[in-house]
Structure 1
Amino acid sequence: MTVLFFILTETLSKIKPCSTVQPTCPGPKVISKLWILSLRHKLQANRCCNLFKDDPCYKCAEGWELHGGKCYYFSNNKSSWNKSRDECRAKGGDLVKIDSSTEQRRLRDVMTEAEDKFWIGLTDSAVEGRWVWVDGSSLNESLRFWSGKEPDNWKGHNGEYPDGEDCAKMGEQGGAKDLKCWFDAFCSNPHRSICEKAAVKGQF
């Protein structure tokens, strides 16, 4: 667009004033062609945005990572599930909702360290056994990535946690080596978290 603007400016500076009796004046024709060219450039750029969601057409704020039209923030500090969600909301997002195996794989691939355990936006605190995402939607039975016998709603060695484990995290000791790496956990436990929000499409 900058190049087109420069060409248009240079062209206009060289066009002599036209009288009403000069039908062959080149000025309007040149301007028309340049205008059409600029529109084509804009349409082509927008078409690229639609085809490649990870290209510069989509943007995330500093500190967030872009994947598939979404922005992800991996916190460094550890907090309870509720506090982690508050922190995500304060950043304009929410705890992550995982909508596909592709998204699960992308998040899993980030978890390479021994202590990579992250809260995700899934809980059954309202009704035991009914897992719900932070947007109110129920967990899709075909998109369950629980590890082993999870969720087990463990209540402690001596029943010291009567409410059991009502919040979901992903990753465990040694990192997440398998797609099935969700665990239910005590919501008060401090863990890192993954925030999510929609990427912003750039303007041309």
Structure 2
Amino acid sequence: MENIYVNIEELKPVSPKHSTNCSDKKTQRGPWSLYLGFTVFLCVFLFAGLIILGVLYVIKDNLTAKRNLLNANLTKELESLSEHNRKLHDSVAELSAIKVNLTELLQTSNNKLSSMTEERDLLNANLAKLRCLFEPKKMCHGEWKMFSCSCYFFSKESGSWDKGRQDCRNKGAELVVINSPEEQMFLFNVTKNYMWIGLNDREVEGTLKWVDGTPLTLQYWTENQPDNGGGVNTNEDCVHTGHRHTPAWNDLPCTNSLPWICEKLP
């Protein structure tokens, strides 16, 4: 019996060492598995990053190519516009030169026409006076006074030189043109007042002309006249007679208010 119990005790199970070793191995494998998984994840991440970078690089190349193409097109357009602008500038310069030439030609033509018109008017006036010499029966009417072959009107109204000239034209006459000392004395004897006559230098300062275009030859200026205002006024361009109650002339601003003398043929 004792032997039996001894055998039973000897037969009691003992904890297997193999199970303990397996558990230890599993415990030892844990960190390596994590490292391996992290490594795989990192590789996948890097690979995905490389793919993304490749795609971005391709997109960048495409955008760069498009930008270069756009820049090239813009450069061509700018060159074309610059060339077009240069041609327009040249055309404008040519047109400006043509305009200047046409303006000069027009001015020359106008000057010639004006000169011819003045010559015609002077010729007509001289012919009319010559005709008057052979027709002594013609008379002046109303308030008009006769001297030689002309009729003269001495206004009682006052106004500017332009107003006086317009009034004379409305009467079929013109501001008086004085051609002789006898005519000058006739006008002075009729009226010793300041009165506008048809003499001015409005076109060119210092170049006095009669309203019929004839240049000034006979002159009856009072002392130190004309002086264009003596440096005080610079626009004394129109002339009146009867200065200081003498048969002399003086220049005044054309806007001054004076009576005037008209002249016409009978």
**Range of TM-score over shorter length:** 0.5 to 0.7
Partner of 2:171: 91
Matched, 1:190 2:261: no
Q: Which has the higher strand share?
A: 1
1:1-204 to 2 correspondences below 5 Å: 50=133, 53=136, 57-112=137-192, 116-140=193-217, 143-154=218-229, 159=232, 161=233, 163-173=234-244, 175-176=245-246, 179=247, 181-199=248-266
Q: Percent identity?
A: 40
Q: Equivalent residue of 1:169, what SS?
A: strand
Structure 1: runs of 5 or more not aligned: 1-48, 200-204
Shift of 1:164: 2.0
Question: 1:51 & 1:193 partners in 2: Cα distance?
Answer: 29
Per-residue displacement from partner, 1:120-166 (whole Å, max 9, x unpaired)? 000001001100000111111xx11000010000067xx4x4x4200
Aligned residue pairs: how many? 135
Question: 1:146 & 1:104 partners in 2: Cα distance?
Answer: 12
Question: 1:111 & 1:198 partners in 2: Cα distance?
Answer: 20
Question: 1:188 & 1:61 partners in 2: Cα distance?
Answer: 30
Q: Equivalent residue of 1:58, what SS?
A: coil
Question: 1:92 & 1:150 partners in 2: Cα distance?
Answer: 31
The answer to whether the 8 Å contact 1:155/1:165 transfers is no
Shift of 1:85: 0.1
Q: Greater relative contact order (Cα 8 A, min sep 6): structure 1 or 2?
A: 1
Please report the RMSD computed on the Cα atoms of aligned residues, expressed in angstroms: 1.8
Shift of 1:61: 2.6
Per-residue displacement from partner, 1:140-199 (whole Å, max 9, x unpaired)? 1xx11000010000067xx4x4x42000000134x22xx4x1000110000010000012
Per-residue displacement from partner, 1:94-140 (whole Å, max 9, x unpaired)? 0000011110111111224xxx1100000001001100000111111
The answer to whether the 8 Å contact 2:236/2:254 transfers is yes
Query: Which of structures 1 and 2 has the bigger CA Rg?
Result: 2
Q: Equivalent residue of 2:260, what SS?
A: strand
Question: 2:191 & 2:212 partners in 1: Cα distance?
Answer: 24
Q: Equivalent residue of 2:261, what SS?
A: strand
Shift of 1:69: 1.2
Structure 2: runs of 5 or more not aligned: 1-131
Per-residue displacement from partner, 1:66-101 (whole Å, max 9, x unpaired)? 110100000001010011000000000000000111
Q: Equivalent residue of 1:97, what SS?
A: coil
Question: 1:185 & 1:128 partners in 2: Cα distance?
Answer: 13
Shift of 1:52: 8.5
Q: What is the TM-score normalised by the length of structure 1?
A: 0.62
Q: Equivalent residue of 2:243, what SS?
A: coil
